[in-house]
Copies of this chain bind each other. A is one copy, B any other.
Amino acid sequence: MFEHQQNIWLESLQKQGYRITNPLKIIVEIMASSDVILNPTQVFLLAKEKNSNIGLVTIYRSMEKLEQAGLIGRVHMPDGCQSFFHASNGHQHLIICEQCGKAEYFEGDDLNPLFNRTGEQFGYQITDHWLQLFGFCQKCKEINLNRK
């Protein structure tokens, strides 16, 4: 299942002219199967477990490729914006656990009427929008309860 997803990513990268190297495969494997947002250093540490020789620079360069290819996207949080998550199908919105970074996409109502109305009201031509929810996921809620 995850393997399937990885292959889709690798094919996509190959079609776009990138070479499928071992380090890239490892990074794809990590990013395509992660249900939490990850920053370059976190990806680096996970990747080292699979190939102790991999360099942090390769992570940066590969993340850039995956982003260019539309496979991952940068996730902004109140305390930083260097984490990445696999991209969504279509334009969906993110709900993110502020404790563990677990993220999921959700479909919102159609907010375009609000966005267009607001754009007109202020004289802006709207090109994009962000909607994100922050909170505690099921697991982290339980963890926090047990701590008390």
Contact = CB atoms under 8 A, between A and B. Distances in A.
Chain A interface category by residue count:
35 or more
A9 to B, nearest CB: 22
Interface string A104-145: 101011010011001101111111111111111110010000
B131 A135 contact: no
Number of copies: 2
A95 interface: yes
A127 B98 contact: yes
15 contacts: A76-B76, A78-B128, A106-B122, A109-B114, A118-B133, A122-B137, A124-B133, A124-B135, A124-B136, A124-B138, A125-B136, A126-B134, A126-B135, A127-B134, A127-B135
Interface of A: 74, 76, 78, 80-81, 95, 97-98, 104, 106, 108-109, 111, 114-115, 118-119, 121-138, 141
